[in-house]
């Protein structure tokens, strides 16, 4: 405790000082600055954290909360790319539920609409047996049964109008592809427009600790998390939200263990150019083939572009990234169209054979019926320069999402395999649920960091996330088997789900995030 410079000047002043009330006295000679107090401090400027803050600012009950956002990256540079022909290789598939949330948060209209692509169906097929399931939203719509079908036949019916919600046309959209940077830019723009959010970017969190012991009748921050930033700046949070990714410091601070396993796989991503362009109003499809090494998915982007996500074993990922662009394009085509025996041969000899040549020989000799190939699958013509990258795949789930004045959302809470495209959507659903818990707390005069407010969030999200992660994990394990009764069983099951419309509707509803 350093002494004030006034001390040295005169003993009289010093005595005068000692007569001041304790709080003022302490503020003069204490150099431990008081931490700035915030209602919500969100560590992490990814889509989950940003959407949580946007949702809070958009609701009348919570818009006056004092919120801060901390991120170590420079958030102002995440602006949408202006080149219409170049797309980022990190794209996400947003379900209709996520879109509704983003619309309510006021962020979706700020997204650059020309770089976003809806798709209207999904074709998923088994690489080993060729059995197939296709998701068409007009097929298994929620509640679309006999009565609905009859009602739609009645001339002059207003059935469709009555089902329109939130101004969203019922166009039969399964999901929407959006670049991650497009989404974060829109969310940041929304936060800037609403003002009042303290955005501290390019700021690394130095430490998080509980506050010091109170000195009688002073403010008791001993149960509050205090975030220390460079320059000895401190933020005390009534509720500290960890949206800071898979290795979350907030989760470590809260001593919340997270369990799971690594898949020993990498997800190879790239932006591909297709052989023909699609118009804006064309029906687009997403395609996914389950290979024994991992699923490969082709997700549509505007015009003639598509996004690739291919899960392969780690050594194969390195080999694939090292391929020349034409060879990589041929390899992607081969992964969708050729038999497993051919593909295994290609992947084994990936450095030594001329893939384009082998592919052009094998394609006419592979009957589409034997591979279950959907007729509408477009051919990949080229790969966008420099867009091949990979990231490790793992599954992690935190034991709980909340602690005292702590909440975790997004990747900090759970990491999932990308085969169902659910990772970002689960994070947005977390943000939506937490925002509604906070809103409820504020409206009922609760302390938003207390367990009574946060427990609602955990009980809403933990079980649902666990179920989705469990299903994705089991699907991954089921489809990594190459032969035998397991293949027969799963093909039979897939065929059954494809034929039973109510069951398929249930699967689609669950994947679409029913809220």
Partner 1 sequence: MRATTTPSSLTRLLALPPPLRTRTFSVLSRPPPNYPGHIPLTILERLSLAAGSAIGSLAKPYRHDLIASLGETTAKPYFLSRLHRAMLNNPTGRRILRDRPRITSKSMKLEELRQMPENSVGRAYAAWLDREGVTPDTRDAVRYIDDPEEAYVMQRYRETHDFTHAITGLPVIIEGELAVKAFEFANTLLPMTALSLVAIVRLKKVERQRFLEVYMPWAIRNGLKAEEVINVYWEEELETDVEVLRARLGIEKPPDLRDIRKALREQKRRQKAEREGSGAGAG
Task: Report the interface residues with partner 1, using CB under 8 A.
Answer: 130-131, 138-139, 144, 148-149, 152-153, 339, 341-342, 344-345, 361, 365, 367, 369-370, 372, 495-496, 499-502
- In order, the DSSP letters of 163-180 are H-BTTB------EEEEEH
Distance in Å, CB of 347 to partner 1, minimum: 12
Cβ closest to partner 1, residue 245 vs residue 495: 495
Distance in Å, CB of 152 to partner 1, minimum: 5
Distance in Å, CB of 490 to partner 1, minimum: 13
Q: What phi and psi values does residue 200 have, to the nearest 5 degrees?
A: -110, 85
- In order, the DSSP letters of 209-235 are EEPPPP-TTS---TTSEEEEETTTEEE
Cβ closest to partner 1, residue 125 vs residue 224: 125
Residue 189 structure tokens:
């723009």
| Cα–Cα distance measured from residue 513 to residue 422, given in angstroms and rounded to the nearest whole number | 9
Distance in Å, CB of 363 to partner 1, minimum: 12
Distance in Å, CB of 348 to partner 1, minimum: 9
Distance in Å, CB of 484 to partner 1, minimum: 12
| Cα–Cα distance measured from residue 113 to residue 109, given in angstroms and rounded to the nearest whole number | 8
Cβ closest to partner 1, residue 82 vs residue 352: 352
Cβ closest to partner 1, residue 467 vs residue 496: 496
3-class secondary structure, 255: coil
| Cα–Cα distance measured from residue 240 to residue 252, given in angstroms and rounded to the nearest whole number | 13
Distance in Å, CB of 345 to partner 1, minimum: 6
Task: Find the helix or strand (DSSP H, E) in which 52 lies.
Answer: helix 47-58
| Cα–Cα distance measured from residue 17 to residue 28, given in angstroms and rounded to the nearest whole number | 9
Cβ closest to partner 1, residue 69 vs residue 343: 343
Cβ closest to partner 1, residue 105 vs residue 373: 373
| Cα–Cα distance measured from residue 41 to residue 233, given in angstroms and rounded to the nearest whole number | 14
Bridge partners, residue 403, by sequence: 406
Distance in Å, CB of 293 to partner 1, minimum: 16
| Cα–Cα distance measured from residue 436 to residue 433, given in angstroms and rounded to the nearest whole number | 5
* Terminal Cα-to-Cα distance of the chain (whole angstroms): 55
Cβ closest to partner 1, residue 143 vs residue 231: 143
From the list 98, 236, 224, 245, the residue with the least C-alpha distance to 173 is 98
Task: Find the helix or strand (DSSP H, E) in which 288 lies.
Answer: strand 285-291
Cβ closest to partner 1, residue 58 vs residue 344: 344
Cβ closest to partner 1, residue 467 vs residue 503: 503
Cβ closest to partner 1, residue 223 vs residue 483: 483
Q: What is the DSSP letter of 410?
A: G
Quickly count: other Cβ atoms within 10 Å of residue 151's Cβ.
Answer: 13
Distance in Å, CB of 500 to partner 1, minimum: 6
Residue 259: CA atoms inside 13 Å, Cβ hemisphere, count?
4
Distance in Å, CB of 282 to partner 1, minimum: 15
Task: Find the helix or strand (DSSP H, E) in which 263 lies.
Answer: strand 258-274
3-class secondary structure, 408: strand
């Amino acid at each position: 405790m350093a002494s004030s410079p006034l001390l040295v000047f005169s003993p009289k002043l010093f005595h005068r000082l000692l007569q001041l009330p304790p709080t003022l006295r302490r503020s003069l000679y204490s150099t431990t600055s008081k931490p700035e107090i915030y209602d919500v401090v969100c560590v992490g400027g990814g889509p989950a954290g940003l959407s949580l803050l946007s949702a809070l600012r958009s609701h009348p009950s919570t818009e006056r909360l004092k919120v801060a956002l901390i991120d170590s990256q420079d958030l102002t540079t995440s602006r949408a790319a202006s080149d219409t022909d170049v797309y980022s290789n990190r794209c996400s598939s947003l379900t209709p539920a996520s879109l509704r949330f983003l619309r309510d948060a006021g962020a979706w209209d700020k997204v650059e609409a020309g770089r976003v692509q809806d798709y209207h169906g999904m074709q998923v097929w088994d690489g080993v047996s060729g059995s197939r399931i296709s998701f068409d939203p007009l097929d298994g719509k929620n509640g679309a049964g006999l009565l609905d079908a009859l009602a739609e036949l009645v001339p002059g019916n207003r059935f469709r109008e009555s089902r329109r919600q939130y101004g969203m046309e019922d166009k039969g959209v399964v999901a929407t592809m959006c670049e991650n940077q497009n989404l974060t830019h829109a969310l940041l723009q929304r936060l800037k427009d609403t003002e009042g959010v303290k955005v501290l970017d390019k700021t690394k969190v130095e430490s998080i600790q509980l506050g010091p012991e109170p000195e009688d009748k002073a403010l008791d921050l001993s149960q509050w998390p205090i975030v220390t930033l460079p320059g000895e700046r401190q933020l005390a949070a009534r509720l500290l939200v960890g949206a800071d990714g898979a290795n979350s410091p907030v989760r470590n601070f809260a001593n919340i263990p997270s369990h799971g396993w690594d898949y020993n796989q990498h997800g190879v991503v790239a932006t591909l150019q297709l052989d023909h362009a699609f118009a804006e109003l064309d029906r687009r499809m997403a395609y996914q083939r389950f290979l024994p090494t991992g699923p490969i998915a082709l997700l549509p982007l505007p015009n003639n572009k598509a996004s690739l996500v291919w899960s392969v074993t780690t050594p194969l990922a390195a080999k694939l990234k090292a391929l020349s662009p034409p060879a990589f394009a041929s390899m992607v085509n081969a992964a969708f169209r050729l038999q497993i025996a051919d593909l295994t041969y290609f992947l084994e000899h990936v450095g030594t054979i001329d893939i384009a040549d082998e592919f052009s020989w094998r394609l006419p000799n592979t009957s589409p019926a034997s591979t279950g190939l959907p007729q509408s699958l477009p051919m990949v013509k080229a790969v966008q320069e420099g867009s091949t990258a990979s990231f490790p795949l793992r599954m992690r789930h935190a034991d709980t999402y909340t602690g005292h004045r702590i909440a975790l959302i997004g990747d900090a809470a759970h990491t999932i395999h990308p085969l169902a495209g659910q990772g970002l959507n689960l994070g947005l659903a977390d943000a939506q649920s937490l925002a509604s818990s906070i809103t409820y707390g504020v409206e009922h005069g609760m302390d938003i960091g207390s367990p009574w407010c946060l427990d609602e969030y955990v009980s809403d999200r933990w079980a649902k996330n666990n179920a989705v992660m469990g299903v994705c994990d089991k699907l991954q394990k089921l489809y990594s088997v190459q032969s035998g009764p397991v293949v027969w069983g799963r093909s039979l099951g897939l065929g059954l789900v494809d034929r039973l419309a109510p069951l398929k509707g249930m699967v689609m509803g669950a994947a679409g995030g029913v809220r």
